[in-house]
């Protein structure tokens, strides 16, 4: 009987450990542009990156399986520079369930063209928070914390701060890295600027928008669609404030890369006055998607 009790305790310990990790991250490594390469190498890489993202403990919180954060990472390798050195891009997408519905909303959908790494098949991936010895694990850990930061911001005001700070620490530790993506002068839209924007008090309205849009807007729409839609419309004013302070801010474009289609679906069902107010904001702050937003205006409304 005592042995049975011990076995049961071990089983539940293992079960809780398995469910403790925060991310449910789908990882894809595409190597189609690299001709004549050992394809098994890239399958092993994909498996190793999957294990790194999903089996590492990123926070102090315990998650059930259903609570895990759903995200996708697509790595396109364009060039094999050496036997263990690769260059390409990494696309990161984060989704979140909407309360009391089967709908999942996209929070983040960004592409980083400065993916440059070394990878040796069957060599363990090691991440050190205080060094920049491995650009591959630094990039993955950086985006793990960015994913957590954005997700937490949608559930509580400024809830992701500690994770953005962890991502910023990786950026700071990578300032002497030879590989691109970490420094302010290299681009206006890279890893440096993404986390800088999220922690910059001048752009705090953006983070207020994330909370209002998702927790007080989308999560309310299944029960009170008009109220939820109205909150989202008001939240867009916060994005407008950030845009007017600095039109080319990375996070503003990142918001609309994730939300443009969703906004069309939401406000095509809106009242005329609300629809007009939203259209005025969208055409000002996101003219690149103007053709999409015309569908809102075309709707006759109520």
Cβ pair 50, 95 in contact under 8 A: no
Tens of pLDDT, residue by residue over 233-254, are 999 999 999 999 999 999 999 9
Q: How high is the pLDDT of residue 36?
A: 78
Q: How high is the pLDDT of residue 10?
A: 41
Q: Is the model's pLDDT at 5 over the cut of 60?
A: no
CA-nearest of 257, 256, 115, 250 to 184 is 250
Tens of pLDDT, residue by residue over 91-114, are 999 999 999 999 999 999 999 999
Q: How high is the pLDDT of residue 189?
A: 95
Tens of pLDDT, residue by residue over 172-214, are 999 999 999 999 999 999 999 999 999 999 999 999 999 999 9
Q: Are strands 23-30 and 69-82 parallel, antiparallel or unpaired?
A: parallel
Residue with tokens 């990494």: 90
Neighbours of 134 (CB within 10 A): 17
Q: In what order do the strands lie in the sheet with 69-82?
A: 23-30, 69-82, 85-97, 104-118
Q: How high is the pLDDT of residue 300?
A: 54
């Amino acid at each position: 009987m005592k042995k049975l009790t011990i076995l049961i305790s071990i089983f539940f310990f293992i079960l809780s450990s398995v469910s403790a990790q925060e991310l449910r991250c789908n990882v894809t490594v595409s190597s189609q542009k690299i001709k004549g390469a050992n394809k098994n190498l890239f399958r092993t890489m994909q498996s190793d990156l999957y294990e790194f993202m999903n089996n590492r403990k990123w926070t102090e919180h315990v998650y059930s399986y259903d609570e895990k954060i759903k995200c996708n990472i697509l790595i396109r390798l364009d060039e094999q520079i050496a036997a263990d050195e690769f260059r390409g891009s990494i696309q990161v997408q984060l989704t979140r369930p909407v309360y009391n519905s089967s709908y999942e909303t996209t929070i983040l959908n960004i592409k980083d063209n400065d993916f440059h790494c070394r990878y040796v098949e069957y060599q363990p991936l090691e991440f050190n928070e205080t060094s920049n010895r491995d650009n591959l694990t630094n990039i993955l850990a950086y985006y793990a914390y960015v994913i957590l930061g954005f997700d937490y911001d949608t559930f509580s005001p400024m809830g992701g701060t500690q994770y953005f700070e962890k991502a910023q620490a990786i950026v700071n530790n990578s300032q002497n890295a030879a590989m691109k993506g970490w420094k302010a002068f290299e681009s206006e839209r890279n890893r440096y600027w993404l986390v800088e924007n999220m922690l910059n008090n001048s752009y705090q309205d953006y983070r207020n928008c994330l909370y209002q849009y998702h927790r007080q807007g989308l999560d309310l729409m299944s029960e009170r669609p008009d109220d939820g839609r109205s909150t989202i419309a008001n939240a867009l004013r916060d994005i407008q404030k950030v845009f007017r302070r600095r039109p080319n801010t990375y996070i503003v474009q990142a918001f609309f890369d994730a939300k443009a289609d969703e906004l069309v679906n939401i406000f095509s069902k809106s009242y005329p006055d609300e629809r007009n107010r939203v259209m005025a904001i969208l055409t000002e702050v996101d003219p690149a998607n103007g053709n999409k937003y015309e569908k809102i205006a075309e709707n006759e409304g109520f």
